[in-house]
Structure 1
Amino acid sequence: MHPESTSNADETGRDEGPEPTVFLVDDHEVELDLMQRWCQRAGLATQIFADPLRLLESLDVDTVGCVVADLRMPRISGLELQAEMAKRELFIPVVLVTGHGDAENCRTAFQQGVFDFIEKGFDSVQFIDSVERAIRKNQREQFRHQVRREARGLLEAISKREHEVVLLLANGMPLKGIAHELKISVQTASKHRSSIFTKLHIDNEVDLYKLLLAAEVSLEVETPQ
């Protein structure tokens, strides 16, 4: 088998977003072959790498799936790989496997943000369970990030003054209060609200609040000087 190969093993026709991929990284070809066969039997697409640095070149922020890496590799360790991924803001769950597991390695791995840590000798059921849990975690996070991007994209359409009105509305302030706070007329405040609802494709303050939560923006109001 070549050091790097791709297997699109999922024939189930799933179309719920990008197909997740299990990125397998190990300098032992036998280990790679075994883990890849397990993934294929579970219907999971895989990419395999003997060199973790080649893996880093293949990942981006929109990658969906998980990384399974050997803890001890010649060029960089699995922990160093996970640290480099975090540095590049590649928050794909990492499952570390090793034949040299100990309490200190486990503690360091989890403190660093590794998703799971399993010793070689694990069976296919344990392996696939860990991989599928990591993928589900990544899919949830990717969905949340997508929702946040879309919400923030909508908010870019409103003006600076409308943004001030948005925060006051989200904090439950009535139009009279907004008019007083921003030193504008109630009629002007009402026009701002209508414009905001139109631009954001929403119908009421509850929808606005949900949109702001999805965008993960601060609802703190700055008092005008």
Structure 2
Amino acid sequence: MHPQPSDHAFELGRDEGPEPTVFLVDDHEVELDLMQRWCQRAGFDTQIFGDPLELLEAIDVDAVGCVVADLRMPRISGLELQAKMAQRDLVIPVILVTGHGDAENCRTAFQQGVFDFIEKGFDSVQFIDSVERAIRKNQRERFRHQVRREARSLLETISKREHEVVLLLANGMPLKGIAHELKISVQTASKHRSSIFTKLNIDNEVDLYKLLLAAEVSLEPEVEQ
């Protein structure tokens, strides 16, 4: 019978983070104004840029939301903007807008990691739908990265031997089996288990398994030969 999670099970990733912002980049003021009005009507905060290089100076790795950029701009293209953002580990989704869409541009954009590719002439419903999907994707990824970072930080508090015990516990091995596998006494294995639960602030193997999944670590045992 598997133990049930207790009220003291670890809780990670509760920080909801800042409100999302739609970063609009276009060298045409009329297009910027139209997209900004659509975003504001939908309740989104916006920042507008007539030059993609200005966006690169203003945005940081903690930005939440999405970027909507024209594909064809004088200094650098929307694709080049996305590439520069990727080089800086800016994972915020990018939507490219163009009046000159073609299959090759679409293929290149998606291969490069662009979230969406829409042609000018779209209506506000199509535009806001793309923006909302991009923001949801960004929030999910941000939450997952936060949970993973916090879980891994917890796991760094245990010793190498305790890490071996963790992996065996997570794979359902009883204390007697762990003692045999690691060539230690059952009493020592039990002490390791207690120490692990205390350091990780968990109560049972179910909590431990959830923590390891959150940390996205391999559950394969790493026992010394």
TM-score (ref. length: structure 1): 0.90
Query: Alignment identity in percent?
Result: 91
| TM-superposition CA deviations, 1:61-115 (whole Å, max 9, x none) | 3211000000011111111111121222111111000010011111111111111
Alpha-carbon distance between aligned partners in 1 of 2:91 and 2:16, rounded to the nearest angstrom: 20
Contact kept? 1:72, 1:98, Cα under 8 Å: yes
C-alpha distance after superposition, 1:156-204 (max 9, x if no partner): 1111111111111111111111112212111011011011111111111
Partner of 2:22: 22
Q: Could you tell me which residue of structure 2 aligns to residue 40 of structure 1?
A: 40
Q: Which segment drifts farther, 49-58 or 190-199?
A: 49-58
User: Can you list the C-alpha shifts for 1:123-176, whole angstroms capped at 9, x where unaligned?
Assistant: 111111110110011111111111111111111111111111111111111111
Instruction: Find out whether 1:95 has 2:95 as its counterpart.
Output: yes
SS at match of 1:96: strand
Partner of 2:11: none
| Secondary structure at 2:206 match in 1 | helix
Provide the rounded CA distance (Å) in 2 between the counterparts of 1:105 and 1:53: 21
C-alpha root-mean-square deviation of aligned residues, in Å? 1.3
Q: Which residue of 1 aligns with 2:157?
A: 157
Distance 1:54 1:128 in 2: 24
Q: Distance in 2 between matches of 1:56 and 1:182?
A: 52
Aligned residue in 2 for 1:139: 139
Gaps of 5+ in 2: 1-14
Q: Within the alignment, does 1:191 sit opposite 2:180 as a pair? A: no
- Partner of 2:85 in structure 1? 85
Question: Which sections of structure 1, spanning at least 5 residues, go unmatched?
Answer: 1-14
- Contact 2:164 2:223 survives alignment (8 Å): no
CA contact (8 A) 1:62 1:142 kept: no
CA offset digits 1:11-53 (Å, max 9, x no partner): xxxx943100000011111111111111111110001111212
Runs of 4+ residues deviating >4 angstroms:
none
Q: Following the alignment from structure 1 to structure 2, what is the Cα–Cα distance between the partners of residues 168 and 62?
A: 36
The corresponding residue for 2:71 is 71
Match of 2:3 in 1: none
Q: Which residue in 2 is equivalent to 1:175?
A: 175
Question: Which residue is 1:112 aligned to?
Answer: 112
Q: Secondary structure at the match of 1:68?
A: strand
